[in-house]
Amino acid sequence: MQLPTNVSSLRGMIEVPGDKSISHRAVMLGALASGRTVIDHFLPGADCLSTIDCFRKLGVDIRQDGTTVVVEGAGPGGLREPAAVLDVGNSGTTARLLLGILAGQPFHACLVGDESIAKRPMGRVTKPLREMGARIDGREGGNYTPLSIRGGALRPLRYTSPVASAQVKSAVLLAGLFTDGVTSVTEPHRSRDHTERMVRLFGGEVNVDGLTVSVAGPQRLRGTHIYVPGDISSAAFFLVAGAIVPNSEITLKNVGLNPTRTGIIDVLTQMGADIAIDNVRNEETEPVGDITVRTSTLRAVEIGGDLIPRLIDEIPIIALLATQAEGTTVIKDASELKVKETNRIHTVVTELKKLGADIEATDDGMMIRGKTPLYADGIVVDSHGDHRIGMMLAVAACIAKGTVRLERSEAVAVSYPAFFADLRSLL
């Protein structure tokens, strides 16, 4: 795909698609609940459609019409042993959270994914689930897909996670819903809390005490109505575009502002971006607001520690942002990037260097020296099949002089099917 380059301005208003993390969880908890759940502004990207497909194979009646999804909850004991293999596609969230649910089911299931999923570590989830009593096997002792799981009769667990990961936390807590007792997860840093908020929305109980989250099982969930806010991880690409493309002003409507996800806004603010948030609402469930960003003069910052879990998915676009900031930006404590859809440390550095960025990889992040003009005289960049790398490169092309072609642009559809159309609408 040929990308727009040397863009003179980006102006307008858009609404980014529904939050991917929330869309996954809405289908999953809706499937476990008693009664009907209606989901509005659902993300119909490839990852979330994989979640729907898996739960249909588990016997759940799910109807999807564009961004509206209706789930007829199976209720307690209502999931059925699948006759076919559960294929999660490219979705790590589907894989890890589904393992937590399957751990509590008295039947056997097999889980597979695509080539990327086959490289992503599942041991961080299968280890605590085995401690709870689930029988799990797979490649390299159950650390990689394909995986076979036979659940049921779980024991409560008090688990101290070595990583701050919402997927690990959620898998254990979801399994805990099927135990007779209290299951807890303690993290080194606070990770995103969509599962905790959504369990409460479905009438369940969750206790949060500092870095420890616990659920008492068994719990009975009730179907509900859910509006999925715009995905801040998708909004991040346009927030950065608005800050670095000349003469720009972009307003993003109805963006999720969950405080465990707003690290990108903190970084933009620290770097001096001209950014404003208005019309904030729904603060007790999932806060939502409108964000406006304008072309800005930026300065370098250091990013690490407990900020990383709040912006781990946004680091590729933050790296681009840093190329347009005065000084040296350091991103550290981000080793988790190595086990995403790609090794994002390697892919970000490799692809931005093609455009002339002064960037180098470190063991747990990267260093970016700015402000650096980007050039693209017939350059071919590659998403490596990673949706966030693809979108980052499209934004990078906007400030590059020359021509840029993006290979494997179709990867963007995983989380933002209309991304290129929305970008063109702002030109």
Instruction: Kindly write down the DSSP assignment for every residue of 6-17, as one continuous string.
Output: S----EEEE-PP
Which of the 8 DSSP states describes residue 291? E
Domain around 217: 20-227
**pLDDT at residue 339, as a whole number:** 84
Q: What does the pLDDT read at residue 284?
A: 75
Local structure of 115: helix, strand or coil: coil
pLDDT at 282: 86
My answer on whether 266 and 223 are in the same domain is no
Are 216 and 279 in the same domain? no
| The pLDDT value given to residue 298 | 98
- Together in a domain, 342 and 195: no
| pLDDT tens sequence across 41-80 | 999 999 999 999 999 999 999 999 999 999 999 999 999 9
Same domain, 281 and 392: yes
Same domain, 233 and 182: no
Q: With 80 as the cut, is the pLDDT of residue 133 above it?
A: yes
What DSSP line would sit under 338-395, residue for residue? Answer: GGSSS-HHHHHHHHHHHTT-EEEEETTEEEEEE---EEEEEEEEE-TT-HHHHHHHHH
Distance (Å, whole) CA 160 – CA 39:
33
- Per-residue model confidence as pLDDT tens digits over 333-385: 999 999 888 899 999 999 999 999 999 999 999 999 999 999 988 899 999 99
Q: Same domain for 100 and 180?
A: yes
Query: Which of 227, 253, 271 is the last residue in one of the domains?
Result: 227
In single-letter form, the type of residue at position 241 comes to A
Position 285 scores a pLDDT of 87
Name the token pair of 397. 């092309």
Residue 205 shares a structural domain with residue 291: no
Q: Check residue 283 and give its pLDDT.
A: 74
Round to whole Å and give the CA distance between 275 and 249.
Answer: 10
- pLDDT-derived band at 391 (thresholds 50, 70, 90) equals very high
Q: What percent of the chain has pLDDT over 70?
A: 100
How many whole angstroms separate alpha carbon 388 and alpha carbon 390?
Answer: 5
Among 227, 253, 286, residue at a domain's last position: 227
CATH for 260: 3.65.10.10
Number of domains the chain is built from: 2
Do 170 and 91 lie in a common domain? yes
Among candidate residues 203, 227, 251, the one where a domain is terminated: 227
pLDDT of residue 331: 98
pLDDT confidence bin for 208, thresholds 50/70/90: very high
Predicted pLDDT at 49 = 97
Calpha distance 27→51 (Å, rounded): 7
What is the pLDDT averaged over residues 157-185? 97
Q: Which residue is it, tokens 């005065």?
A: 326
Q: Are residues 166 and 244 both part of a single domain?
A: no
pLDDT in tens, 78-126: 999 999 999 999 999 999 999 999 999 999 999 999 999 999 999 999 9
Maximum pairwise Cα distance, the chain: 63
Q: Which amino acid is at 264?
A: I
User: Is residue 12 located within the same domain as residue 24?
Assistant: no
Q: Per the structure block, which two tokens stand in for 9?
A: 């301005």
Q: Is the peptide bond before 146 cis (omega within 30 degrees of 0)?
A: yes
Q: Are residues 341 and 253 in the same domain?
A: yes
Residues 41 and 127 both lie in one domain:
yes
224-259 pLDDT, tens digit each = 999 999 999 999 999 999 999 999 999 999 999 999
- Entry pTM: 0.92
List, for residues 267-326, the tens digit of each pLDDT value: 999 999 999 999 999 877 899 999 999 999 999 999 999 999 999 999 999 999 999 999
* pLDDT score at 160: 98
Residue with tokens 């929330």: 22
Please answer whether residues 367 and 315 qualify as being in contact, where contact means their C-beta atoms are separated by less than 8 angstroms: no
| CA contacts within 13 A on the Cβ side of 386 | 26
Active site residues: 313
